[in-house]
Chains A and B, each alone.
Chain A
Amino acid sequence: MPLLQRIARRLRRRAFIQAGSFARKPFPRLVRHFLARMTRGSDSGSTEFELGVGPLLGLLAAPGAFQCFLMLDKYSSLLNFFRGRLREDLFVSSAPDKYMFVSIAMAITGIVTVIKWDSILPDGQDYLNLAPLPIRPRNVLFANATAIAIAVLVLAVAVNCASVLLFPMFVSGAAQPSSIGLLDFMATHALCVILSSLFAFCAVFAVLGLLSALLPRETFQASSSWLRGVIVVAFIGLLLTGFAGPALIHRLETTPNSAVRLLPPMWYLGLYQSLQYRATAQLTRLTPLAGIAIGAALGLMLVSYALSYRRRFAGVLEAVPRAAGQHWRRFALAILDCFSYRESGFQRASYRFVIRALLRNESQRFCMSVAVALGWLLAFQSASTGLAPRPNRLVWPPDVSLLTAPLMTAYLLMLGLRLAFEFPAALPANWIFQSTLPLLEHETTGICRRVMLAFLTPLVLLPNLVLSCWWEGLRFAALHTFYTLALSLCLIEILLSGYRKIPFTCLTPGFRENLLLRCLLQLLGFIAFTRGGAGLEHWMLLEPVRFLLVPVAMAAAHFWNQRRLRNARDAGELEIGLSFDSRLRPAIQRLRLFDSD
């Protein structure tokens, strides 16, 4: 036995040494470098939220696992016995849930790909570091391609692992097939959801890669974050279709040529059901599209990779800097600068700084584009519900769903802007503010309020005024826009309460510590603002004189707030002046209850 143990130990050591020496060779080292870049981002001073690989993979798996547990009730044999649904073919009735898992796989993979787009391909920094080294460009290309392949597989497995294990178990547990049947179900589920993930990745890569390769460099750089924001919202929309799975499948069966057949998750549901021999005629018709789609996306991805690789990697040195302002951006700046302070001073300088930072920084633009696109998507959906013909629909006042639409856009825009203010931009450059300004003499609430109103006016208020006027006439449009503005002002005051920073000049506060609670609060806030606000407006529209209550209530709230602030200032509880505090507060503060000092 000791001899065998010694041999085993020696073999293990040799394998370990060989693995170590392999990992130190240039190619695996390059692959590791590109993988690390994808998980951490390219810039060491990156402001992205950085998670370890373990928590990141756990986070990716969470939606699938959560969705599985939500389905426990549906697949409980005992409950189904009481419901009288024991004879149901669960492979057929689980089709909406399968659609949901396919949607989750596509949406999460697509969104992660969009967010990580900048760190997928090597960039100028890599070029400057790698080009002088004796490594063939071909090896760098293959190492990057290998890293991408590994990352995509890990991503697809992480996103879908929980559902691959749990969902077939829940359904099979209720249907009671053999062990082989369970394994078969798991394999089918794994194949379909992983193919869905790969399709989403290839599709995003193909779209962004082709645009990056075909558009002029400056145009792509300028529009990339907006485009990525729109793609993220499209994936969120795709995810939301998962909740309407039963209705969509029913629609496909009743109206085969409806637009539902164009939804990619439906193609993979067709494949899923075909592999389980449960596909209806309509789903069978869509099954080949799953293969064609992934083949086309993969082909386009490879083309775009080949085209954009050299451009991104080596082309950085050939880039000629051009003037920052394209025509549309100059136009946008001109409009937003109309809201600027006229007098030279801190407020004017800060306002113009904030506007330019919002329009020209990747993270800020991305945050805003997601907020705006999501707001418009929800508003469009809500307005179309409000305008849909219904037998008992009143002519006046308009439906609550219609009134909700601009409030949704306004809320998400304000929230997106407030969040964007917290992302730092070129932190080391804020010495200019610190060395120029006496910190106690200035405050930024007014500047931020003005910035928010500058964005709110062209993106929400003006479209709202024009569309309302078109639908219901000028009187309604004026009242509706006035009410939206009033509620937005209240929201701005709440969001900016206690804000003492110049936007982008401090480190991001620890959002992660209470992320779940913040999300829950914002969700409740969104419901209260949109539903509550629209309900109140509906009540006031019944008797328009009631709108006079709005300025009265706002004035009362303003005076109450002023008094509260004055009392807090007198009591020394209110911090005044600018803050450049860049320290990250610890998640947990030790109370030192037992320390003698």
Chain B
Amino acid sequence: MQTDVLAPVLQGHALTKRYSAFTAVRDVSFVIRSGQILGVLGPNGAGKSTIVKMITGLVEPSDGAILFKGRRVRDDLSEYKRALGYVPEQPELYGFLTGWEYLEMVAALRRLDRRLFRETASAMLKAFTLYQSRDLPISSYSKGMRQRIVLISALLHDPELLVLDEPFSGLDVTSAMVLRRVIGLLAERHKAVFFSSPVLEQADRLCTHLLVLKGGSVVASGSMDEMHAGFAGLDLEAGFLRLTQQVDVESAAKNIVDATAATNR
């Protein structure tokens, strides 16, 4: 593929994160090149969010290194953070600011030109149908509105690397479709996208490459074609369940319904 010959934008090399005696992430390596969308899949507690936090500099890896364009990010943190756009799992925002004020703050932190910010932010707010609500305090926003504000703040400075931690959570159907198309277009324009999600269908439709985690370790990785081929006739869902050895879905559902019925006896 043409994208494979491009230089790596982000590399995780043998990343490990320990919290006291508990190891959340163990020896995880990956590469994202320009134009690639790397999806990280895994059940809850697999270490997806910890990897995202290490990539964004919110937590330090216990071992291993993160390289941006071949250089350790710690060597030039400012340059790295300027190139990074991040959407966290929970859209935690300052509720006392209005949507516009929040975007203005992020733009100022990123030293964007004020006139350029006004144009870009207005266009994005209109595209995400938030323009009418821009002067309302964020505390009055729904989860989906907050998620859209975070997305806009991550895209404002045209980042080279976009890190999305479950970006579709809380979005309505239209916004989710718009976002999916936005991610696709960004990849077409040679942006690198790191995408974490617990939803298989999204990863299947969006990603060019996949990293499957279980218990903090990588159990499978490769391009989507390689992953499909590796599951030997199984569809992605069945393959994922086999890799991560999740619970028997049918029996788990039956147990829940039986327990509910027991309260009426």
Contacts and interface: CB of A to CB of B under 8 A. Distances in A.
Interface string A417-433: 00000000110110111
A560 interface: no
Contacts of A361: 96
Interface string A94-120: 000000000000000000000000000
A344 B96 contact: no
Contacts of A321: 136-137, 140
Contacts of B88: 431
A433 B109 contact: yes
B84 A352 contact: no
Interface in B149-200: 153
B153 A425 contact: no
Contacts of A51: none
Contacts of B92: 426, 428-429, 431
Nearest to A348: B108
B138 to A, nearest CB: 9
A349 B108 contact: yes
Given A349-B108, A352-B108, A437-B109, A431 B58 contact: yes
A349 B109 CA distance: 6
B98 A438 contact: no
A353 interface: yes
Interface stretch (B5-13, B38-46, B111-119): B111-119
A325 B97 CA distance: 10
Q: How large is the interface on B (under 10, 10 to 19, 20 to 34, 35 or more residues)?
A: 35 or more
Given A324-B137, A432-B153, A349 B105 contact: yes
A12 B262 CA distance: 35
Contacts of B94: 353, 357, 425-426, 429
A142 B77 CA distance: 58
A361 B117 CA distance: 27
Nearest to B136: A321
Interface in A423-462: 425-426, 428-429, 431-438, 440-441
A344 B107 contact: yes
B136 A435 contact: no
Contacts of B110: 436
A138 to B, nearest CB: 27
Contacts of A348: 108
B105 A353 contact: yes
B86 interface: yes
B135 A441 contact: no
Interface in A309-340: 321-325
Contacts of A380: none
Question: What is the predominant secondary structure among interface residues of chain A facing chain B?
Answer: helix
A186 to B, nearest CB: 49
A353 B97 contact: yes
Nearest to B93: A429
Contact of A356 (B84, B101, B117, B153): B101
Interface residues of A, number: 30
B97 A356 contact: yes
B135 A324 contact: yes
A434 B57 contact: yes
A435 B84 contact: yes
B93 A344 contact: no
Given A324-B135, A352-B101, A432 B111 contact: no
Contacts of A325: 98, 135
Contacts of A429: 92-95
Nearest to A441: B78
B204 interface: no
A436 B81 contact: yes
Interface centre among B94, B98, B113, B117 (most CB of A within 10 A): B94
Interface in B64-84: 77-78, 81, 84
Contacts of A438: 77-78, 81
A433 B101 CA distance: 15
B86 A435 contact: yes
A322 B132 CA distance: 11
A346 interface: yes
A210 to B, nearest CB: 26
A360 interface: yes
A345 interface: yes
Given A344-B113, A438-B78, A323 B136 contact: yes
A436 B163 CA distance: 13
Contact of B93 (A357, A426, A441): A426
Given A432-B153, A435-B57, A426 B78 contact: no
B90 interface: yes
A188 B104 CA distance: 62
Interface string B123-156: 0000000000001110010000000000001000
Contacts of B98: 323-325
B108 A344 contact: yes
A224 to B, nearest CB: 14
B106 interface: yes
Contacts of B135: 323-325
A434 B93 CA distance: 13
A503 B216 CA distance: 35
Interface of A: 321-325, 344-346, 348-349, 352-353, 356-357, 360-361, 425-426, 428-429, 431-438, 440-441
15 contacts: A321-B136, A322-B136, A324-B135, A324-B137, A344-B112, A345-B111, A346-B108, A349-B104, A349-B105, A426-B93, A431-B88, A432-B93, A436-B110, A438-B77, A440-B77
